[in-house]
Amino acid sequence: MIDWVVVGFSALWILGLALVVAALGFANYLAGQQKRRFRQALGMPACQIMIDLGLVFFCLGWVGGVSTTWERFVWGGLALIFALQTWQARKIGNV
C-alpha cells in the first residue's frame, strides 16, 4: 500500500530543491545578460524570493519526513524563518 502522505511530503522537499536550483540558474542567466557578478544577480529580489520559497517548501517537506517531535519543530521553525524572508523580499522588491 502506498503511503500518500509520505509521497506528498517528499514531493514538497523535491519541489523546494527544484525551485532553488531554478533560481540559481536564473541568477546565472541574469548575471551573464546584464554583465554582473553572479552574487549581485543572486541578491536581486526575484532570485531571493525564489530561493526562500524553495527553502520553505524544502523545510515543510521535512516537517512531515522526520519522526521525532523536536526535529519537526526545528524544520517548522526554519520554514517560518524562510517564509518571513520571502515576505520581506517581496515587500522590498514590490513583486
Type of residue numbered 24: L
The pLDDT assigned to 90 comes to: 80
The pLDDT assigned to 82 comes to: 94
The pLDDT assigned to 93 comes to: 61
CB-based contacts of 84, cutoff 8 Å, min separation 6: none
Report d(CA 23, CA 25) in Å as an integer: 5
Query: What does each of the 95 residues of the chain score in pLDDT, given as a tens digit?
Result: 888 988 999 999 999 999 999 999 999 999 999 999 999 989 888 899 999 999 999 999 999 888 899 999 999 999 999 999 988 888 776 65
The pLDDT assigned to 95 comes to: 52
Q: What predicted TM-score, i.e. pTM, was given to this entire model? A: 0.87
Residue 17's closest CA among 56, 47, 67? 56
The pLDDT assigned to 61 comes to: 94
